[in-house]
Amino acid sequence: MARAPLFLAREGYRRRRLADMARLLPVLGAALFLVPALDARDGLGSGMLIYLFSAWFGLILASAFVSARLARAAPSEGADPSAEPAAEPPEEAS
């Protein structure tokens, strides 16, 4: 008896990866905001302030992109998120 091949549903996989990306954004933001601490001898000059606001703006854009994609990839309200798509019946041997 042959088993059906295992695979992940493409939409569910993408939704989980987008959720992982959304969880990673605060860590990325913390890393970007701590970079100026590595070069703290000069204080907060104009270049460093431009860097901080650019990083902040980039994080805003990234979070808007991820949230829009997550909203679009969300299952419909009536659908059961734990339900798997129906598999095709096995073909009978002739």
Distance, in Å, from the CA atom of 85 to the CA atom of 4, rounded to the nearest integer, reads: 14
pLDDT, mean of residues 8-35: 88
- Give yes or no for a contact between 24 and 62, defined as CB atoms under 8 angstroms apart: no
pLDDT-based confidence at 44, cuts 50/70/90? Answer: confident
Q: Which residues contact residue 42 at a Cβ distance below 8 angstroms, ignoring those fewer than 6 apart?
A: 48
Question: Token digits for 61?
Answer: 């854009």
Express each pLDDT in 4-20 by its tens digit.
666 667 778 888 888 99
